[in-house]
Amino acid sequence: MSKSVLITGATRGLGQGMARHFAQRGYKLALTARKQEDLIELKTELEASSPQVIICELDVSQFDRVPVVLREAAAALGGLDIVVANAGLGEPARAGEGKFQQMAQMIDVNLTGAIATADAAIELFREQGRGQFVGITSVAAVRGMPNSGVYSATKAALGKYLEALRCEVHGQNIVVTELAPGYIDTDINRALASRPFLVTAAAGTRVMVDLIEKQVSFRYVPPWPWTLVAQAMKLMPSALLRKM
Ligand SMILES: NC(=O)c1ccc[n+]([C@@H]2O[C@H](COP(=O)([O-])OP(=O)(O)OC[C@H]3O[C@@H](n4cnc5c(N)ncnc54)[C@H](OP(=O)(O)O)[C@@H]3O)[C@@H](O)[C@H]2O)c1
């Protein structure tokens, strides 16, 4: 029987790329995002390969809507095997430059929205007796990245939350996976001056779906070279970090 996956922020970038790979691998899909037209377009594309595709409008910063949409998707697909909290914002925002509203929105979407998604997913998984929750963090969580301090903070905080969550669900047939991408070519990083070790969205999301299917606890994406680079980043002196 086909497995089912729900993805937040599915209409662009990594969410869209993962949806394509899951569809090719025969998964039933619940695609969620803010824009109905984009959802309809992607549904039309993926219906050719996936056994069932449903779409639900969802802004993950409307926290009360999150459990409602997960329940609707589970009812339509006969349960959810995997929930991927992918929706995220990553605009640069320096302190003291009038960007507080942007920063607060980033916290709502990247952190509180992802936790709302996890909270609803875990409740559902406990009832089903199975499930896998996937959170998307970042190599930007390894250090507090200048000009992206709030983005780094949301991803670091989400990583700690997922670590605790993995302990909470131990022995309950629930898997918690954290994927921390480096630079994968999407809208979120196109304006950056430097994107070291860049990979295409198609290649990066193939690795992500492989790792989700392997039910890993944590991996950088792609694992090479980022596992090594992340260790080097931890040792980097602040003088060097300031230049990034
Ligand atoms: N690409 C990378 O190199 C990279 C590296 C590290 C981590 N990540 C993380 O990977 C995830 C996906 O990023 P991406 O690279 O695919 O970025 P992207 O191309 O900018 O796509 C972001 C997605 O999130 C959705 N989104 C934004 N705010 C939302 C909200 N309030 N509710 C629901 N959906 C919302 C967007 O949908 P709309 O069309 O509605 O805006 C879009 O589908 C993010 O969590 C990001 O932080 C990416």
| Mutation pick for ligand 1 pocket among 36, 65, 86 (CB with most ligand atoms within 8 Å) | 86
Summary mean pLDDT of the chain: 97
pLDDT by residue (tens digit) across 62-75?
A: 999 999 999 999 99
Instruction: Identify the pLDDT of residue 173.
Output: 98
Q: Position of tokens 């589970």?
A: 74
Instruction: Identify the pLDDT of residue 97.
Output: 97
Check pocket membership of 142 for ligand 1, CB cut-off 6 A: no
Instruction: Identify the pLDDT of residue 59.
Output: 98
CA distance 58 to 65: 7
Phi/psi of residue 236, each to 5°?
-65, 130
Percent of the chain with pLDDT over 70: 100
Q: What angle do CA 93, 97, 102 make, to 5 degrees?
A: 45
Domains of the chain: 4-242 (3.40.50.720)
State the distance from the centre of ligand 1 to the C-alpha of 211, rounded, in angstroms.
19
| Mutation pick for ligand 1 pocket among 7, 8, 11, 14 (CB with most ligand atoms within 8 Å) | 14
Instruction: Identify the pLDDT of residue 94.
Output: 95
pLDDT over 90 (residue 1): no
Instruction: Identify the pLDDT of residue 243.
Output: 83
Residues identified as active-site? 151
CA distance 100 to 167: 34
Of the candidates 110, 100, 174, the one whose C-alpha atom is nearest the C-alpha of residue 138 is: 110
- pLDDT band of residue 27 (cuts 50, 70, 90) is very high
Across residues 177-185, what is the average pLDDT? Answer: 98
State the distance from the centre of ligand 1 to the C-alpha of 85, rounded, in angstroms.
10
State the distance from the centre of ligand 1 to the C-alpha of 49, rounded, in angstroms.
24
Cα four-point dihedral sign 25, 26, 27, 28:
positive
Instruction: Identify the pLDDT of residue 63.
Output: 98
Instruction: Identify the pLDDT of residue 244.
Output: 78
pLDDT over 90 (residue 36): yes
Question: Per DSSP, what are the bridge partners of residue 53?
Answer: 29
Instruction: Identify the pLDDT of residue 108.
Output: 98
Across residues 118-140, what is the average pLDDT? Answer: 98
Q: Are 88 and 136 spatial neighbours (Cβ–Cβ below 8 Å)?
A: yes
Instruction: Identify the pLDDT of residue 212.
Output: 99
Instruction: Identify the pLDDT of residue 32.
Output: 98
Please give the structure tokens belonging to residue 117: 């998604």
pLDDT over 90 (residue 25): yes
